[in-house]
Structure 1
Amino acid sequence: MKPSKEVLSQLRVVEIGSSATASYCARLFADFGAEVWKVEPPSGDPLRSSAPLTPGGQSAWFAFLNFNKSSIVINPSDPEAVKRLTLLIEDCDILVDGRDIDGASCPPVDVAAIRQRQPALIYLDVNWFGQDGPYAEFSASDLIVRALAGLIKLVGPAEGPPLHAPDFQAGILAGLWGFIAAASAVIARMQTGTGRSYALSSFEACISLSEYQLFEAFQRGEVMCRIGINRFWPNFPAGIYETKMGWLGVTTITPAQWRAFCDMLGLPQLRDDPALVMGADRLKDVEEIERLVIPRLRRRTAQQWFAEGLKRKIPIVPVPDISALLRDQEKIERGAIVPILLGKERALTAGSMQRLTLTPPRRGGKVPYPGERQSSTNRTPKPTNGASMFRDSGSRAEQPLLGTRVIDFSMGWAGPLCTRTLADLGADVIKIEAIQYPDWWRGVDRRPDYVNRQMHEKTLRFCMMNRNKRGITLDLTRPEGLALAKRLIESADIVVDNYSVDVLPRLGLGYEVLRRLNPSLVVMSMSAFGKNSVFRDCRAYGSTLEQASGLPSVVGTVNGPPVMSHVAFGDAIGGLNGCAALLVALIHARETGQGQFVDLAQVECMMPLAAPWIIIQSLCGTSTRYGNRHPQFVPHGCFRCAGNDSWIAVAATDVGMWQRLASVIGRPDWAADPSLKLTDHRRTMEETIESAIEAWTCMLDADQAMLLLQSANIAAGVVRLPVDLLKDPQLRSRSFFQHVERAFIGGHPQSSIPIREGVRPHSIRRAAPTLGEHNGEILAGLLGLCDAEIAELEGKGIIGTQMFSDVELRQGRRFREASTK
């Protein structure tokens, strides 16, 4: 397939204010050819001074967020400043506004009035916590929103403070959500001619990563706690282990994987113990299991174990450091590692991970100097009378993706989150399972008792990821099931799967088959490592993706092991990147009628989280671990409060905040000391400062400490458990959790998406489907089958509503084998 022109080249984006979220959102548009104008004050975006700095004094973080943009300097003291900025915005398609994070001396503009004159303008307002609620005026940083969102407390040693990565995560996660909002608005505008106005909460965006643990704790009634570095409830082992040479990421979830892992290590006593069948059971005996496992893993190298794991279909993978990533020729060839120019320095960093094959993203680029305009696109001048550059059907859709149909072959977390997001935005998502092999988030326990009690209908994690979808069952290994799937695909816009790369082609649903059925179809494979990767046969979960991404190698203490940040970091990040990629491909399909294949490698989607380290490593040959400290902010970290395992995150993000913090904790002498205005001077006594902060916080309840610090405009947030979010006052005030009723479970909460057009969140229109719930509705309503035909399909086991147990699965397989002889 011959690559086409840059798919977003007809869009102009203006970015104002200073926010990592806004910058990353806008850069994603630049990746696909949009003309992005970054508005800066004469001193430049404050993020230009963000550490870590390159040898040439350039910010690695700013560089990653801003290559391929143009910079326009507008001096707020210029009498024409407001007029210049207003004209710039009036001539753009999308305005990304980070002023609620940091105004960056941006001239005041009346966005509402501009939108009145230019109704086609798409507006994205980025903030920390939302435009209302008790946290709306809080001071914050990346660390603070992650702490409040439940992303820190479960990470690190069982005793002592939680262990977290520096501030390079929330901006990426929220930036993806911002791009999804704006890109979906572009699609809606192609139908209506009208733009949309979205507000994005970075805090709520972070909950995309914590909602799994939140709802598991809610359903099971279990109180989660830190259980050690690289240990996460409810799966074990699912961490990083030292080998004879190198580190190895291990994840065993299914009983079959656990048995294979024990066989590989020669531990039949663990394999055959009925009390160790499921991961949650094994967590009760962590120390005893690791006492046997760790010495055996040290007998061979990580590469040797990886080769052995491939043979046995075990999700294990070598854990690279950043230098290994930079030597990975496959990632360079795929564009996961790209060259960028920062002034006179040539560096490498993470590229765009939305791997569209017909309209690929740019591979690297140049970071603009303040006021530097890069080569512009051949864009048709935007009309000045408020008319849209797109066709106008004369009606405004209730949801931006209304009228889009998605066939969803995905399971687990990453793929279903991708398609759930499309469904939340109005798409008609039809989820296809089989009674023989339903979504494994319904449960991997196939013992008859589990199946007979219909426990597969009672898992909240499945309901969380599959709301707003319709669901059918089809046995794709049978000709009748395959034919029905093809008929559904003929009238669809998008097909998504997150199986191993060969599964759909082997079933007869490879891309070449699908494009003949439907030339405008967008097809995305969300495999772990990519279609043609040397790792393509490696089994993987979200934990595997984090282990293989390089990120753990830069998290933690200097002499400690690589540290994972989440039970399955790669799932949510892969799902949101997949959604972003589909929206770009859909824009192209709607404009041209051309579909395309999206080869999304989920492991690559994790690499932007390590982007600053990649840049510094490429220039200096080394990268630094910071522990709970920060390359720029002093102090920065988690501090003990009164009560058991109670902590608060605190960050002094500027000199004024440091002085206020010193005064609040009873050290006015530090506040008045002019030498301590310098970060480097504070760093020389960082441990002393941290001890003084903790001496103050340990006398207070965490929420009390947070409110006292926030009342002095100091960035601080309680380090919450995921389940604590159900009682969070900010989320309650914004109706973030919606009540949903569903068969087998009854009433339960569901989290909203973090983007909203008004005061209320996007509505959850339907609960997750029970197995095969919409068989009749879809087969009769969409495909025109009669009741007798549907009954015949059910009689043959091609459709159904009851999951097969392992016993029934074996019996069914034997029956089919016998019937074909």
Structure 2
Amino acid sequence: MAREAQPSSEALSQLRVLEIGSSAATSYCARLFADFGADVSKVEPPAADPLRSSAPFTPSGQSAWFAFLNFNKSSITIDPADPEAIKQLTRLVEDCDILVDGRDIDCAECPSIDVAAIRQRHSGLIYLEASWFSRGGPYCEFVASDSVVRALAGLIKLVGPIEGPPLHAPDFQTGILAGLWGFIAVASSLIAQLGSRAGRSHSLSIYEACISLSEYQLFEAIERGEVMHRMGVNRFWPNFPAGIYETKKGWLGVTTITPKQWRAFCEMLDLPQLRDDPALVLGVDRLKHIEQIERLIVPKLKTRTARQWFARALERKIPIVPVPEISDLLEDQEKIERGAIVPLLMGEERALTAGSMQRLTLTPPRRGGKVPAAGERQAFTNGRMGSARGTSVPSGGARLAEQPLEGVRAIDFSMGWAGPFCTRTLADLGADVIKIEAIQYPDWWRGVDRRPNYVHGQRYEKTLRFCIMNRNKRGITLDLTRPEGLSVAKRLIARADIVVDNYSVDVLPKLGLSYEVLRTLNPRLVVMSMSAFGTNSVHRVCRAYGSTLEQGSALPSVVGTSNGPPVMSHVAFGDAVGGLNGCAAVLVALIHARQTGQGQFIDLAQVECMMPFTAPWIIVHSLSGVSERYGNRHPQFVPHGCFRCAGEDNWIMLAVTDASMWQRLAALIGRAEWAADPSLKSERRRRLIEDTIENEIESWTRRRDADEAMAQLQGARVAAGVVRAPVDLLQDPHLRSRAFFQEVERAFIGPHLQPSIPIREGAGPSPIRRAAPTLGEHNSEILADLLGLEEVEITDLVSKGIIGSKMLSEVELRKGWRSQEPSTC
């Protein structure tokens, strides 16, 4: 596929960003701005940002986590004891376009400033404030850690062996997820500011940001009953097999969801008895026969290498991928050439790390960079955006739009989770998103069942997962394989700002909607392909789901114990992460298009979007050749892990993050002598008796209900949270107090709950404006009002089957329609 001849300047080079406080989420948010050329300054105390002390460490003792979060920034040291500290910081804020504030996570000795007063004088300032749980609600004063928040958000309980504690991934996940949400909030405000000089203010809940990953399982549990429980390592309801298996050489990620994929998998393994068993057609049925199936497939998979199975699976269009180690990523020339692996300078150490995954082709991100020493400024030559920096908007002047993306239009060709999540986020922020389906092949999250009872009973209109992922959108059906449908699609695209698809890379080009065609229709258009591996990848035709993306990212290789298999963390981790990265990429490109009139193509490889979760290990491994797995323990916090509480399968996550917290914990559980022992203030000394400490904690927690234990631990200012199942979130007191779940009315299913987005501009959540569209619900509205078609023309499209409002049955499909399968869910 051809691209623009020469890359343009950096998309955000006219911006100045200031980061205060210490938080992984705000650091990652700010670094994403640095990736696209913004002048980003981090304010640190004389003792440096506490994140510089976060494990894992490089051979010279530098924090790999801090390095990944902060390359290409400058550092400014401010001593809070300096009488001029407040004035100095105030001047910095008044001279920036964006203030990213992580003080509620860790103040990091930041001087106290009155942000509200500064915004009165500098009303063009865009402000983002992040906190673990945001203002209000019973958790707002909780002490927390990455793992504690993930436990409360339903991201741990379903992972790991059936017996014993859940097996959770190490820290470094909430910062990536919440950082992306923060970037999306600020980037959308920049787009709004191009039409209005007024800045906007957002609060970000890291806890609610994590629910982006658990909302799918939550709403599936509502619809199907509480069927989800921990099923064993690399096993997740509702699909099987969808995990990681040992081969003759290497590990293999396998995902079989559709009956066709299951049949092809069985044929590949020469297991006709499994293929032909009517009790094993669907994944939920196969889950009832796990041991029987694995007795047959495990020995077969060990007869060939992971690479050999991958090659065979490509021929059969089965979602299978080798599971790489960190060393494999570092040697992957394709990822290096694409900028997924980039060089990193850390003082005298030259390392490699995960790059920016928002692969804009006209205004690409920086490829690596330098980590600043405390107080070190980096020289970047930037223009200015021409914002209202240091000025006031006159009273009664520019209108602040109700939502930041008001006036933006997106055409949504995506299906499943990742693409629709990207476009749902755009819609939630005010964009007019027009979802294009076909009566021949609707979004497969409506259901893939073609049997008469399903189709004629319109059960495809009753799936909660579709309704959750497609709210705030308008829907139209078009048969893109026919000239009339293609013509309508082109007319819509000509009036749009954004086009998003997550089909296989060749689907839209074969239909006549390649980027070369689209840019002639609309030179300002931002077009994003959300494929699994990228449009120019040697694996570009590989089928993939969110599970495949996690399997192929190397993240499982750092989860679990040193002598165990690679461990997956989620049923479809890659989908939500791909959606958030896609939304971030689209907004950057849209900012550039609004300023210059130049649209561009975005080549988003969703497997690369998972790589930031492994970034610290990539850095350490590139320098030392080793990377460590911790199990449920932590490289820095002792004690740390899941502890059993009273009742069946009830657990609490606990993390002791400093010496004073350790002393409070020891006193609470009745070990006053530990609290009084000065040697145990050292994490290294506690590590020597970690088994004993864990046993003592569990003897205390076993006598208590999980919520009771959390209340007592938090009362002693110890970071702890109940390990909740996703469905438990519906009754979570904090989420209920913040009205996180909103009730929406929709045809076919009536009132149902919807999760809010984790970014707010006021005390309450952004309201959900409309329910997800029924199939073809807005055909006439869009064709008549937007494109000006007459009623007779619309009727003609209906009579020809170009548009419609009823899904076609299997019999009707056999009349010649060609399937358009998405590359990822």
Paired residue for 1:819? none
Residue 114 (1) aligns with residue 125 (2): no
Q: 1:326 & 1:388 partners in 2: Cα distance? A: 50
SS at match of 1:192: coil
Q: 2:361 aligns with which of 349, 357, 360?
A: 357
SS at match of 1:347: strand
Paired residue for 2:565? 561
- Normalising by structure 1, we get a TM-score of 0.98
- Contact 1:191/1:393 (<8 A) preserved: no
Q: 1:416 & 1:551 partners in 2: Cα distance? A: 24
- Match runs of 1:637-652 below 5 Å: 637-652=641-656
Paired residue for 1:704? 708
- Report deviation, 1:388: 7.6
Q: 1:376 & 1:545 partners in 2: Cα distance? A: 35
What are the superposed Cα offsets for residues 295-314 of structure 1, whole Å, 9 maximum, x if unpaired?
A: 11111111110000000000
Q: 1:3 & 1:177 partners in 2: Cα distance? A: 27
Deviates more, 1:442-451 or 1:576-585: 442-451
- Match runs of 1:253-652 below 5 Å: 253-380=257-384, 385-387=390-392, 394-652=398-656
- Report deviation, 1:692: 0.6
Paired residue for 1:817? none
Paired residue for 2:38? 34
CA 1:777 to 1:13, structure 2 compared with 1: closer, same or farther past 3 Å?
A: same
Paired residue for 1:95? 99
- Contact 1:155/1:163 (<8 A) preserved: yes
Residue 657 (1) aligns with residue 661 (2): yes
Q: 2:290 & 2:775 partners in 1: Cα distance? A: 35
- Report deviation, 1:223: 3.3
Q: 2:20 & 2:570 partners in 1: Cα distance? A: 32
CA 1:154 to 1:795, structure 2 compared with 1: closer, same or farther past 3 Å?
A: same
Paired residue for 1:714? 718
The residue identity in structure 2 corresponding to 1:615 is: I
SS at match of 1:339: strand
Deviates more, 1:805-814 or 1:95-104: 805-814
- Normalising by structure 2, we get a TM-score of 0.97
- Report deviation, 1:277: 1.5
Q: 2:558 & 2:364 partners in 1: Cα distance? A: 29
Paired residue for 1:192? 196
Q: 1:804 & 1:121 partners in 2: Cα distance? A: 52
The residue identity in structure 2 corresponding to 1:89 is: V
Structure 1: state its 5+ residue gaps: 815-821
Q: 2:239 aligns with which of 221, 227, 235?
A: 235
CA 1:748 to 1:716, structure 2 compared with 1: closer, same or farther past 3 Å?
A: same
- Report deviation, 1:812: 4.5
Structure 2: state its 5+ residue gaps: 819-825
The residue identity in structure 2 corresponding to 1:447 is: R
- Report deviation, 1:448: 2.1
What are the superposed Cα offsets for residues 612-631 of structure 1, whole Å, 9 maximum, x if unpaired?
A: 00001000001000000111
- Contact 1:493/1:522 (<8 A) preserved: yes
Q: 1:240 & 1:51 partners in 2: Cα distance? A: 28
- Contact 1:34/1:377 (<8 A) preserved: no
Residue 204 (1) aligns with residue 205 (2): no
CA 1:669 to 1:496, structure 2 compared with 1: closer, same or farther past 3 Å?
A: same
- Report deviation, 1:453: 1.6
SS at match of 1:811: coil
What are the superposed Cα offsets for residues 39-98 of structure 1, whole Å, 9 maximum, x if unpaired?
A: 000010000000011111100000000000000000000000000000000000000000
Q: 1:812 & 1:504 partners in 2: Cα distance? A: 19
- Contact 1:339/1:365 (<8 A) preserved: yes
SS at match of 1:348: strand
SS at match of 1:731: helix
- Contact 1:152/1:164 (<8 A) preserved: yes
SS at match of 2:178: helix
- Report deviation, 1:562: 0.3
- Contact 2:241/2:255 (<8 A) preserved: yes
- Contact 2:440/2:817 (<8 A) preserved: no
What are the superposed Cα offsets for residues 133-154 of structure 1, whole Å, 9 maximum, x if unpaired?
A: 0000000000011000000000
SS at match of 1:346: strand
The residue identity in structure 1 corresponding to 2:391 is: G
Q: 1:471 & 1:360 partners in 2: Cα distance? A: 32
- Report deviation, 1:454: 1.1
Residue 764 (1) aligns with residue 768 (2): yes
- Contact 2:157/2:230 (<8 A) preserved: yes
Aligned residues: 812
- Report deviation, 1:385: 4.7
Q: 1:393 & 1:376 partners in 2: Cα distance? A: 34
What are the superposed Cα offsets for residues 728-770 of structure 1, whole Å, 9 maximum, x if unpaired?
A: 0000000000001111111111000000011110110000001
- Contact 1:67/1:367 (<8 A) preserved: yes
Q: Would you identify which runs of 4 or more consecutive aligned residues in structure 1 move more than 6 Å? A: 381-384
- Report deviation, 1:449: 2.1
Deviates more, 1:411-420 or 1:450-459: 450-459
- Contact 1:448/1:807 (<8 A) preserved: no
Deviates more, 1:22-31 or 1:790-799: 790-799
Q: 1:485 & 1:528 partners in 2: Cα distance? A: 24
Deviates more, 1:314-323 or 1:437-446: 437-446
What are the superposed Cα offsets for residues 189-238 of structure 1, whole Å, 9 maximum, x if unpaired?
A: 11111001100000000000000000000111133100010000011111
- Match runs of 1:97-176 below 5 Å: 97-176=101-180
Paired residue for 2:23? 19
